A and B are shown apart, each in its own frame.
Chain A
Amino acid sequence: MARRVRIGIDTGGTFTDIVAIDERTGELVTTKTPSTPEDPADGFMTGVGRVLDLLSVDGSAVSSVAHGTTVATNQLLEDKLGRLGFITTEGYEFLLEIARQSVPDGYGNSYFWVKPDRIVPVDRVRTVGGRLDFCGNEVRPFDTEQAAEVARWFRAHDITTIGVCFLHSYADPSHEQAMRAALAAEHPDAVVSLSSDVLREYREYERAITTLVDAAVKPKVAAYVAGLARRLHEFAPGVPFSIMRSNGGVLSAAEVVHQPITTVLSGPAAGALGAGLIAQRAGYERVLTLDGGGTSTDVSVVLGGEPTLTTEGSIGRYPSKIPMIDVVTVGAGGGSIAWISPEGTLKVGPRSAGAVPGPMCYPEGGAEPTVTDAHVILGRIPPHLLGGEIPLSVDAARSGLSRLAAELGMTVEAGASGILEISAWNQANALRQITVKRGLDVRDFTMVTFGGSGSLLACRLIDILNLPAVLVPLDPGTTSAYGLLTVDARCDYVQTAVSRHRDLSLADVSSAYAELRDRAAAALGREGFPAGDQRFLRTADLRYFGQAFEVRVPVADGDLDQSAADVVASAFHDAHRALYGYDFAGDDQQQVEWVNLRVTGVGPIRRPTPRSVPGGDGAPVAAQTGERGVWFDVASAPAHIYDRALLRAGDVVAGPAVIEEFGSTIPVHPGFTATVDRHGNIVLAGSSES
């Protein structure tokens, strides 16, 4: 059978989502299966089997598989990093203890803050002599004897996962490579990550942590990916298998295990990409994405279909300088618990009832009222989940919430509305913070909501944030898995090379770019992309001399002559103004400084053609399945219930209404309309009278 089916599989905390597309017919099918946290590969294989059944094909028809995984993320969030060793430059054995000396949060916390345990305790840190300066020049030669001694020490102590970070190794990796050679000779079983491989960027503490995290997740990610690949190949021999990375690209499973830290935001990255692409095809260029799950909500900014990236991210308590999609996670999901603080105020989250025991309305649910309980009491979601598979108990929700409401002197419905209002404001504040951080105005953005609970508060967010519209994709429960089918192969290479613009050596910059490009080309070649298909994006991080933050700007292809370099500097002034409201263009006192050179290699894939839905007559009566009382305001009022599967392009649903589908619900508040576009997306907007 011809290979023609592409599969995307996103493993989440509760469900594994699968999307498959038959490239010949364009037929697209989706399904969900419970995740299997003890071995995520089981859920993965179940999902593959199920989706192929839906298409009535077998493994031999599969042309590629792309996967979003949380194996590395979970290991970090659970803080189970194992016994690591760390090797660094002489004089820096306390680098991890010192960190950046900062105490989190409020003033006065330094008196009572208890520093969390370090990722590697001091007795498993060893130092080696040898020193480079910031240009990579050798100040003192590498002490190979000491290196061998250190390697033997780790072997003798049976420490087999080791991170190496020497000062200024971003400028010259030779000392770290010599250390790897010493480890290979003396301690061949060791799994080693070098900072110069993981991240060639200045700031020793962050680079060291990034390197150690990479080393820590390597054994587990490698074993997981290898196991999956084996099972997949038994089933579909030779099928290309790639893993979603935090940077918004995929890389083959074989390659990704060498840099497993790049998978930490695998799932959220796929969601932001999928949502961004869907929005772009619907005609929106400036987009916020909001992925609402059970315990938390992920938000990100997508400009022109490209999610914004950050190199200042963190996972759990570990900073990561690896380029990753800038996703902010808020502790506001369907399972977020409502509670009364010691001060007597109503709070929502960040604690969550999770999937187990879940909200009070779930069968065998928890004992504390949650956001989902509030929704079900108000009738904004149906009293069941997943198209009826799971019944929800309105009575259980009411009884729990009535206790809380009584304490506040409110009716149950007012309490439920209040919980949802606070939850909406929590999400709104998170959305404001990610836009402010980038110097953007939230009012200029259309929001895409997806995930099981993502769209429930969409109308409130339109109102609170003054958004022009919210777009809800078809089948929003599987947007992340769909995103996996839309992703190019992508690999990032960076080189710190600090130089003031006026002193810039064009030859040095050009050769650094050439080297980065060669590395990217080699990686894409290993992925099977012929040279003609490979694309390369050059960027540079620049700053004003004296600043500690850089701004990334594009560097055009072709020869980097003086005028091309000046174009980069000029783009930097513009970008700086856009981000920060001012620049120093034309001010000779303000030197521009080049800091990091970057090349991203892209191996393009064919994206699925957009789905389309047939046109209707604009009056969605046929999709109406009933009516029920829904509290949108201070009283219950009858609202039409619609089945999303029956809506047609051009249909307009006016609130109050509720649009239901498998795995998600869209409450349409009074004064709002939901319009179906030609791709089946629902566009929510306030009507002019709202």
Chain B
Amino acid sequence: MTVDPILLEIVQGSLASVEREVETAIARTSRSPMIRDAHDFRAGIHDRRLRKLTGRSYSALVHPIARDFPLDTMRPGDIFFHNDVYTSEGGIGHLPDLCVTVPVFHEEDVVAFVQAFGHHDDIGGAVPGSMPSHARSVFEEGLMVPPIKLWDAGVRNEAALRIMTRNSRMPDSLAADLDAECSACLMGSRRLGELFARYGRAPIEECFDALLANTTETFRREILVKIPDGSWVWEDYAEHDGVDPPRLHTQRITLTKTPDRILLDFTGTSEQAKGPINHCGDYADGNFLKKWLAPILRNLADTPERMAELDVNEGVVPLIEMRFPPPGTLLTPIFPAPTNARTFVILRLLGVLAGVLAKAVDGRMPADQETIRYTGVYGEDADGEQYLMREVLGGGSGGRYYADGEDTIHVVPESRNLPTEFTESRFPFLVERLGLAVDSGGPGEFRGGLGYDKHIRMLKDASFMSIADRSILACWGVRGGRAGQPFSVVVDPGGPGEREVDALADGEPVRVGEVIRIRTTGGGGWGDPLQRPVEKVLRDVLWGKVSAAGAREGYGVVVTGGTSGMDGTGHTVDIGATRSLRAQLRAARPAEQPFFDRGPGYARLSGGAPYPDVDLL
């Protein structure tokens, strides 16, 4: 290494600190709940070659800005803005993600960029919240803004701001959020400018090169070596697109590993959906998707502690090649295909990559998780004012070869659920239960984590909305582990008006006094559940995470006596009965078993086949 190791460490520490400072400033000054509570925003620092330098967060791309505004035309005080998915080079997935980009200057030249995007309340379109689950085109999803100058050499573009706020149902929070992003990025850009001023441009740029090269080398040395050379194929599905009846929307990856690269070929992915689950992936050679998917590779590191240490910056890009099918698929949609629920595709792709890797490495990857869905209610509050309560509820994560999956977690770091004591003070309902959905975690030697069991009792008539996948198909288990339970919403459970609500619902009417019961997905299990130690199954029963019936059916463990929950004591395991039940279950297994378990929902959508061929090793 020729670069000064001291300066390299200083630069790396400063980049991480600036990234954190910018995010801290946005978190504290923005107003949309999606940013504030769900933490659905990110900051990133990029060099003048548009390479992402920071490693903790995913982020959008600077490519569209540089494409439309050559660097040598940029001036101090410029702030760029865009949210237009189809002109974002794949960096922006849906219109509510408003992205601000600030160039960093050294002397006369642009030397870096500080960028942030956040998920704002409302950017117009067909429904409040700008996420119409039945949209058929992007025109229903809100206002599209291609890259523009929001500030021009320190002068704010008032016309643009007026157009944007005029198109939003929540103009004030939109304006406040934009202010928050702009001032935070300006602060970050000042900080980086100081670093260039102190050390000079060449040494700093050498450090940028070195820290990206280090990432490339680390992934090559610690991750790629874990994958044998060869080729594997796997697929998973979104189950509905909001327009067509539920069916299998295939996302397929053929992974080919050569000594120092991996090739991800998405051929075999379904045609683009009529509804909003498409994602614009095939831009800039898949640059965004490479950085979006690479964190999954971290699971191949030696220990969970080491996995947590690995940064994902532009340095992963040279290691990954992508091939996309021709235009017109879920990953290569043609304008103006709708995209607001593209999480159905990009979150699923994380799992497809985990699954295809699992085939390559004898299952030493986590089982499936599904940890994002939007649920909410809206209507008039006690004062007769309109409200929208929308929350992102997590789910259980998949079992790992070293640990059970975790209960009710969220893939977005620092994303938080809404405290009952906050929501009840602001919206007309009571949260009667905030619990875990018993038996929702997929059985396995390492059990999947549990999803939520949340009960909301309305104090006024309201409408319920939901944008969720995995309500038919479940989070898959791997290497003998079983699938978790899917997402479900029932209104008035056990009452006269009991009804199941579709997972894509824009406005299900709910009457005063009725309870909405939301159960989110459990994670998939890892490994053979009949190998799970009996005492762990007993503990799960004692803790109310697995029922006595679930212990018997899922694990072949016969638990007698006692009751779960409030009087969760007095359980014992009948060792003799357990031994014979486990032997009986083992004997009843077919000779050939798939490597994955997707749960009973798969057969419903496949026309009867219990599993696809790709599930066999």
A97 & B6 in contact (Cβ 8 Å cutoff): no
**Residue in A114, A432, A433 whose Cβ sees the most chain B Cβ within 10 Å:** A114
B217 in the interface, Cβ–Cβ < 8 Å?
yes
Of all chain A residues, the one with the shortest Cβ separation from B214 is A343
- Residue in B5, B9, B308, B409 whose CB lies within 8 Å of A101: B409
- Whether the pair A345, B411 counts as a contact (CB closer than 8 A) is no
> When A110-B397, A581-B183 are in contact, do A549 and B28 touch as well, CB less than 8 Å?
yes
Complex Cα gap A342–B424 (Å): 49
**Least Cβ–Cβ distance between B538 and chain A, in angstroms:** 11
Q: B187 contacts A436, CB within 8 Å?
A: yes
Instruction: Contact check, A126 vs B566: say whether CB atoms are below 8 A apart.
Output: yes
Q: Is B267 an interface residue (CB 8 A)?
A: no
- Chain B proximity of A660: nearest CB distance (Å): 27
What does the 1/0 interface line of B95-110 toward A look like (CB < 8 Å)? Answer: 0000000000000000
**Is B413 interfacial (CB 8 A cutoff)?**
yes
- The answer to whether B5 and A581 touch across the interface, beta carbons within 8 angstroms, is no
The residue on A at minimum CB distance from B387 is A546
Let me know if A573 is at the binding interface, CB within 8 A: no
Mask of A78-103 contacts with B, CB within 8 angstroms, 1/0? 00000000000001111101101111
Is A106 on the interface with B (CB-CB < 8 A)?
yes
Interface residues of A in 102-132 (CB under 8 A from B): 102-115, 121-123, 126-127, 131
Q: Which residues of A contact B33 (CB under 8 A)?
A: 546, 548
CB neighbours (8 Å) of A342 from chain B are: 218, 222
Interface residues of B in 11-55 (CB under 8 A from A): 12-14, 16-17, 20-21, 24-25, 28-29, 31, 33, 36-37, 39, 42, 55
The answer to whether B369 and A111 touch across the interface, beta carbons within 8 angstroms, is yes
Select which of A104, A114, A418 is within 8 A of B403 by beta carbon: A114
> A139 at the A/B interface (Cβ < 8 Å)?
yes
Cα of A122 to Cα of B33 in the assembled complex, Å: 30
Contacts of A584 in B (CB 8 A): 172
Closest to B545 in A: A122
- A589 interface residue (CB < 8 Å to B): yes
Complex Cα spacing A580 to B24, Å: 11
Chain A residues within 8 Å of chain B by Cβ, number: 75
A347 lies within 8 A of chain B by Cβ: yes
Please state if B408 and A98 are interface contacts (CB–CB under 8 Å).
yes
Q: Which of A108, A113, A203, A410 contacts B312 (CB 8 A)?
A: A108
Is A582 a contact partner of B408 (Cβ separation < 8 A)? no
Main DSSP-derived SS at the A contact region: loop
A101 and B6 contact, Cβ closer than 8 Å, known pairs A91-B433, A110-B369, A114-B403: no
Interface presence of A590 (CB below 8 A): yes
Q: B6 contacts A421, CB within 8 Å?
A: yes
Q: How far is the CA of A589 from the CA of B174 in the complex (A)?
A: 13
A425–B36 contact, CB under 8 A?
Answer: no
B410 interface hit (Cβ, 8 Å): yes
Q: Find residues 538-557 in chain B having any chain A CB closer than 8 Å to their own CB.
A: 542-545
Which of B24, B402, B403, B566 touches A127 (beta carbons < 8 Å)? B566
Q: Which size class do B's interface residues fall under?
A: 35 or more
Distance of A547 Cα from B410 Cα, bound (Å)? 22
> Nearest CB to that of B436 among chain A residues?
A94
Contact B299 A111 (CB under 8 A): yes
A123 near B543 with CB under 8 A, answer: yes
Cβ–Cβ < 8 Å partners of B29 in chain A = 580-582
Residue-wise, chain B 414-451 has the 8 Å CB interface mask toward A (1 for contact) of 11110111101100001011111000000000000000
Q: Which residues of B contact A425 (CB under 8 A)?
A: 9-10, 13-14
Whether the Cβ atoms of A111 and B8 lie closer than 8 Å is no
Nearest neighbor of B8 in chain A, beta-carbon distance = A345
Q: How far is the CA of A157 from the CA of B406 in the complex (A)?
A: 28
* B295 and A106 contact, CB distance less than 8 A: yes
* B580 interfacial contact with A, CB 8 Å: no
Interface residues of A in 545-578 (CB under 8 A from B): 546-549
B residues near A104, Cβ cutoff 8 Å: 413-414
A369 to B298, CA, bound (A): 30
Cβ of A456 under 8 Å from chain B: no
Asked whether any CB of chain A lies closer than 8 Å to the CB of B176, the reply is yes
Contact of A92 with B434 at beta-carbon distance under 8 Å, contacts A114-B403, A346-B5, A582-B176 already known: yes
Known: A112-B400, A544-B31. 7 other contacts (CB 8 A): A98-B452, A100-B417, A108-B312, A114-B403, A167-B421, A170-B421, A421-B6
Can you give 19 A-B contacts (C-beta < 8 A)? A95-B434, A101-B408, A105-B413, A106-B57, A106-B295, A110-B369, A110-B406, A112-B366, A113-B397, A113-B409, A123-B542, A168-B424, A202-B422, A343-B217, A422-B13, A436-B21, A439-B25, A546-B173, A580-B180
Residues of B whose CB lies within 8 Å of any CB of A are: 1, 5-6, 8-10, 12-14, 16-17, 20-21, 24-25, 28-29, 31, 33, 36-37, 39, 42, 55-58, 172-173, 176, 179-180, 183, 187, 191, 214-215, 217-218, 222, 295-296, 298-299, 304, 307-308, 311-312, 354, 366, 369, 371, 393-394, 397-398, 400, 402-403, 406-417, 419-422, 424-425, 430, 432-436, 452, 455, 542-545, 565-566, 568-569
